[in-house]
Chains A and B, each alone.
Chain A
Amino acid sequence: MELLALLGQGFDAALTPLNLVYCFAGVTLGTLIGVLPGIGPVATIAMLLPVTYGLAPLSALTMLAGIYYGAQYGGSTSAILVNLPGEASSVVTCLDGYAMARQGKAGSALGIAALGSFFAGSVATLIIAVLAAPLAALALKFGPAEYFSLMLLGLVAAVVLASGSLIKATAMTIFGLLLGLVGTDVNSGVERFSFGIPELSDGFGFVVISMGLFGIAEIIHNLEKAQNRNIFSTAISRIWPSLDDFKASWKPVLRGSFLGSLLGVLPGGGALLSSFAAYTLEKKLSKDPDRFGKGAIEGVAAPESANNAGAQTSFIPLLTLGIPSNAVMALMVGAMMIHGIVPGPQVMQEQPVLFWGLIASMWIGNAMLVILNLPLVGIWVRLLKIPYRLLYPAILLFCCIGVYSVNQSTVEVAFAVAFGILGYIFIKLECEPTPLLLGFVLGPLMEENLRRAMLLARGDPTVFITRPLSLALLLAALALLVVLILPNARRTREEAFQEG
């Protein structure tokens, strides 16, 4: 089977000593920042992007990807032990995980989380391998109209799946689109909205916006409130779950893996949505839903599997269609472009070693994580005890160096500060920054495709509806919107976000 041959090639590339080192570095770093609240994969990947300039493309992507799914593992550790989700996707794990810890079953919870995540990661890797070729083949039929509609679907989904007000999320998306348009218009060579500032002639740097909005803003926000953390001090006796735990968890792990894999592919999806959905599903399917929130192991097994599966399958739209499905993928687009790789369906044909190597590295990374997490929990716990006042200057330092090192430009650092303040204001106004980042990445691309589509259609806007694929995508976007506006769905959505 050609699939096996390709996978074999991928494993060959991923198993070189150098790539193994980068994979290890990525997943370890990912676990670390996943454990620590206040810093997440988005900020970290943004910080490390400039650093990956000098690396080979596969090594760079392996490491960055490892940070993302590694963070899902780490987030569960702090959720279970400290009731503080290291990552947004671990919020649900806090509910039953911390309850289990209080009952002295922290070890079981941690063990199931790690093992479930590994299983889910393996399933997800398999799904990616199987789906990649058909999806890429489908994408080759895409013209500019279809690309535009797909991006529109992506943005709609990001808005729908963002927490908080829909209208505000849409406004943030449009703001992001506009920010992406700043700079020189490729078609006409005219400079737009650059106000004569030379650093803006190419538009805002991606690193500048992502560091400012996510890194700096978060720190400013955290400095307002005091940080109180009560670490669970009882010794963790056994990390390996009991047989009963396995029996209770295997179905939730299965369900979580598949649900997570499915939801991760959706634009706007990924780890966060998957974990919430899996928890809700388990609760609905359970014979005794009252156990949830009080230490039901299903409440740990399912979301932890789902968030890992979702994190990995969220690579699918990026690797096959070239469309980022969430903020982290948007950063990966940046990483690929830094290395001269234009994301899109052609990546599979033109760079098969890179493509399959990355997929192989994800499975390898998952294996490393299981081995890392189970014995090393003690170290992570000690890290949680680092006071925030020592941590945040370090994070700020990395942000600064990160932004400065891109172009040695003081002006860009000033922009990052401005976006940091803006991001802080947005947090106060309860406006989600993720749709903005997605809009920023997709803005120029959408305009390009819109222009081309209209040119080919000689100015006829109905082209988006007359071409069947484009119509299908637009209908999907509409369906998402409608489903959301229905009061039923709105209530469930609010519930899901309130449980966190």
Chain B
Amino acid sequence: MTPPVLNPFGHDIVSKVRGVETAVTGLNDHALDVLIGEFEKLEGPFPRRRRRLDKVQLVISPEPGYGKSHLLGRLFHKLSRRANLVYVSPFEDPRSSWKSVQLSLVNELSFPDKIEVEYARGDEPTQLEALAHGVLVGLTALAVEKGLLRAKAAGALAKALAFLRALPIALFRKNPGKVGLLQGKRAALEETLRCFCEPLCLAGSSWLNFFFFAAYSPQRRQYRDACLDWLKGGAIDQVEAREIGLRPSDNPDPQATRDDSNMICRNRLLDLCKLAGFYRPFLFCFDQTENYGKNHELAMELGRVIETLWREGQNNVVIVTGNFKPWTDSVAKHWEWAHQDRLLRPPLELQGINRSQAEELVNLRLSLFGIPPEKRDGLFPAAWLEDTFSLTPQIGVRAFLRLCSERWAGAAGGVETRLSLEELFLKKIGEIKSDPKQVVFRYDPLLWVFRDAAKGFSGLEITEERSANGYYVLSWRSKKGKLWLGFEGGSNWKRWEGILNEATRLQKGDPAARTMVIRTVDLPPVPNANWKQGRAGEVRTWLELARDGLLTVLVLPLDDMVEIHAAHQIFLDAMSGNIDYSPEEAMAFIRTRLKPLFQRLFRVEPNKATPPAPETDEANDQPSDELIRRVRDVVFREKLLSFDELMKRLPPKTDENLVRKARACVPEIRVHVSPKMVYLQWQSQG
């Protein structure tokens, strides 16, 4: 089959900062250098290292498409394994801001520590595992340095300490004896924390035990999931908490209100920042800030979050990006003066691309697609470039890519027209499906789709109102009655007891009211197999009975999750000016497109049980070496083919999701997503 002709300039939006293309020479290098320079102020030997920067870094561009997200991507690559990298997705609920930021943090810390690795397999540590290990060895080295721990140091102390700090995590994972040795020094490590760390919100011992588990016991999946739930601010089972070594007081009340949960997440995050001082700083990037301009409460809350990170957080660099007009008119103007004062003045301002950089970009894109030089010269002659830059020395990068795209499409006999919203939506779905890590429970897209996108649905009145404990955050009112909606990622039986209690209270007040809690298929099932005995068993029975009109637990299947994430991202792109459609146009499309989803939700009968998602076997959840080799071989041989064609060349009944994960394990395979197809291209590294 003849390979398709892809448009080398069709990709002009950076949707993932972890996979940006090479930059052209000099473009926005100044901004990058300044940001790295600021970060480096926080590096250095502890405990003498500086803990806080003077300012929050503000990066501004005059219009969308000047490369803000690309800059963040370059920064991520430069600081990989020097910083804990966190890209913060915009939050939608000002009262759950810290919960959202902490969720972003946990999701980001679940990425591989090496940024060039897209999918972590086997012993490849995640950022969290690296952070946990780094803090432990960092504390140990400091304890030795300060005499709180005696160690046989062969040779000079400084050299020994450097050696200690550089010990790889793999060494400990392969040698349980070494972990045991370190665990035996717990008292000294706690003492070191007390002496050299600012007071923590949680007990030092809880954090140390958490780090031991996170770093050295990743294979114990149940406890690994519990660790992540706890880090997200959720309550975990008492048995799990004991096993991990958390103090009872540090395991949140499972029935904590939403506001309390929000504070818990805030405290977790600030503690992590303090502890990071023993290893490496955090980098927090707040991108797509136009979304906060939707209402002044969101904008104000962003200001408060940034202020808190700066004032109370330590060992972190905060970067905020924005487009000039939305930033000044819709976001910053709602900040208190004190919060605005935290921002770097003047901000870092991005540059457009100049003529020579444009030529370099054209060559770069065409060479990635193997276009011969003579064709390049024919399609993009010097005269055209001169003409393009005749009235201005610089153009926004995206604007230039679009000019190139039009030229390419025209020369290929086709016509460059803007993609319709349907095409953009399908493209987004392709991108999300290609990236296994994107399809996870996220509160903000869910809240947005059921609060904002569902508005205007015939006969439906949506109100943002909270139940007393905040388990339910929205109400839908129709002729059928009132439906309370909540979004819950936690799996602790006590929390679900609280959710059921609240549902009962709501129904007492309004017998026609129903409640629905929305979860996603990646979460553990509720109720789960462990809720067998005692009170947990009772809650299980109650939950099953509750389907008869009290509470419905709706588990969104993968396809629905993908559509919801795609819709949310399209809307964010429209807000940020990344696509040629206004937010209003995007929303009108999304409401029509998601209508079948809302209709299905309306038809969910309260007594119809949502079948629990099957428990996944961890071993079968990972692509095998054999599968990875096959995928690699096929793409290498074909050089360019669609995902569907790849599937045809693999054994029948091969799981698509496993193939996607296998693809992510081969760095030479580049993914190109069009509205109708996902293409895989072989690109040699180096």
A and B interact: no
Which A residues fall within an 8 A CB radius of B? none
Q: Point out residues on B near A: beta carbons under 8 Å.
A: none
